[in-house]
């Protein structure tokens, strides 16, 4: 397995646009690493409202947790993305999988 510090740097460099996370702890963890343009799903807006706000954007990373619930949320987002012409940037999520990070808040 690649060195975690190298993978973390690769992860941070791979973020090129908006990042969607599940909750406030996930958002704070990413902010502590210098990530900006974070959209939180569980912040009082529906998933549809979140997707409508980012309509037409490219490089949107879906960083829901890698557990079952996070995978379900990602699938729901991808369905909405296809309706609104939003392209997912998979690279950050793939790097998290290499790092064996299951929960975004665990990046702190």
Read off the pLDDT of each residue in 15-33 and give the average, rounded to a whole number: 95
Q: Which two tokens stand for residue 75?
A: 């699938």
Angle, vertex CA 85, rays to CA 83 and CA 90, nearest 5:
105
Class of domain 4-107 (CATH, top level): alpha beta
**Closest by alpha carbon to 35, among 102, 100, 98, 89?**
89
Beta bridge partners of 40: 21
pLDDT digits (tens, 9 = 90+) for 27-82: 999 999 999 999 999 878 899 999 999 998 888 999 999 999 999 999 999 999 99
The domain spans of the chain are 4-107
The pTM score is: 0.92
* Residue of 59 and 95 predicted with greater confidence: 95
Containing 61, the helix (H) or strand (E) segment is: strand 61-62
């Amino acid at each position: 397995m690649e060195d975690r510090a190298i993978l973390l740097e690769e992860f941070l460099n791979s973020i090129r646009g908006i990042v969607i996370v599940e909750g406030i702890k996930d958002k704070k963890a990413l902010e502590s690493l210098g990530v900006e343009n974070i959209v939180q799903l569980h912040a009082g807006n529906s998933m549809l409202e979140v997707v409508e706000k980012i309509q037409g954007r490219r490089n949107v990373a879906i960083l829901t947790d890698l557990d079952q619930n996070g995978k379900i949320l990602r699938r729901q987002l991808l369905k909405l993305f296809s309706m609104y012409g939003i392209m997912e940037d998979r690279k950050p999520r793939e790097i998290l999988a290499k790092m064996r990070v299951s929960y975004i808040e665990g990046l702190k």
